[in-house]
């Protein structure tokens, strides 16, 4: 089976060398856990490997993604000029590669147009984040995710889609993408000894003998994402108790 490196060698080792070609993979977790940085690594590796690359950004501008990539030594501007990367901006763009509405049909159309522009060959796609397309209609998350996967799978795209989790409840903004995805890379965070700690778990990866352990993650200046040793952190350490989550949902965070 052909596998595509994530661009993070220490993460590739956790899943038989990388993501199977053509897979639709959900990268999920709370804000600030490393999802976008993983996507940047994935695209940078695609550029280095001679793949075509499409990056859709819905919550940051095109310039912001380019600047973040440069912090880790990746020159996205050069790849754009050389026709190896198309960066589609849904936040502040004003050119032919601007997504003007957070609409699934418009998203599919512009991605296919970008794929045709780049040409035939192995192509990587990032949608960061897909949650933006159903925030107003969370009940449609599964249907939208299925539509995306069904159409995009015909275009030789290996896809990472990020999905946001609520800080208050540690739950997704609309359930669906995880059920449809071929793989799930889950990021988590906690505060230990007054310090933010980040973690990653390969929760699902079809046709892959992947690790079942939770690993600590570091984001290093000039290098990016690095996965270190497995940890004994429990789910209870990074999720709110059920009693608290129920109060948050009801809007009743008053003491008893």
d(CA 217, CA 35): 11
- Residue 13 pLDDT: 96
Asked if the structure places residue 145 within a domain, the reply is: yes
d(CA 212, CA 82): 39
Selection from 7, 10, 47, 6 nearest residue 23 by Cα: 6
Query: Cα angle vertex 207, ends 15, 162, to 5°?
Result: 60
Asked if the structure places residue 174 within a domain, the reply is: yes
Asked if the structure places residue 256 within a domain, the reply is: no
d(CA 30, CA 203): 15
227-243 confidence digits (pLDDT tens):
998 986 555 555 556 66
- Residue 244 pLDDT: 58
Least-confidence region, from 41-50, 165-174, 179-188, 212-221 = 165-174
d(CA 103, CA 118): 23
DSSP at 98: B
**Total domains, the chain:** 1
Range of the domain at 126: 3-250
Asked if the structure places residue 158 within a domain, the reply is: yes
Would you say 215 and 197 are in contact if contact means Cβ atoms under 8 Å apart? no
Asked if the structure places residue 255 within a domain, the reply is: no
18-69 confidence digits (pLDDT tens):
999 999 999 999 889 999 999 999 999 999 999 999 999 999 999 999 999 9
| Maximum CA extent, the chain | 62
d(CA 68, CA 222): 10
CATH number assigned to the domain comprising residue 80: 3.40.50.300
Asked if the structure places residue 236 within a domain, the reply is: yes
Structure tokens at 54: 């499409």
- Residue 41 pLDDT: 98
């Amino acid at each position: 089976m052909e596998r595509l490196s994530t661009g993070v060698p220490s993460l590739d080792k956790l899943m038989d060398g990388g993501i199977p070609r053509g897979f639709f993979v959900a990268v999920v977790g709370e804000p600030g856990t490393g999802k976008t940085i993983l996507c940047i690594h994935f695209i940078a590796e695609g550029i280095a490997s001679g793949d075509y690359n499409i990056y859709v950004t819905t919550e940051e501008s095109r310039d912001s993604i380019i600047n973040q990539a440069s912090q880790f030594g990746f020159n996205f501007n050069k790849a754009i000029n050389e026709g190896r990367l198309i960066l589609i901006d849904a936040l502040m763009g004003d050119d032919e590669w601007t997504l003007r509405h957070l609409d699934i049909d418009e998203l599919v159309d512009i991605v296919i147009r970008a794929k045709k522009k780049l040409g035939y060959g192995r192509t990587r796609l990032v949608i960061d984040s897909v949650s933006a397309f159903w925030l107003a209609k969370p009940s449609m998350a599964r249907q939208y995710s299925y539509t995306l996967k069904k159409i995009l799978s015909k275009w030789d795209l290996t896809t990472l889609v990020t999905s946001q989790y609520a800080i208050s409840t540690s739950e997704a903004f609309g359930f669906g993408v995880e059920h449809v995805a071929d793989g799930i890379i889950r990021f988590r965070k906690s505060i230990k000894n007054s310090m933010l700690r980040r973690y990653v778990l390969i929760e699902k990866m079809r046709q892959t003998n992947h690790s079942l352990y939770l690993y600590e993650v570091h984001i290093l200046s000039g290098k990016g994402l690095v996965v270190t040793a497995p940890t004994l952190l429990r789910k209870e350490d990074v999720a709110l108790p059920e009693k608290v989550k129920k109060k948050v949902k009801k809007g009743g965070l008053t003491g008893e």
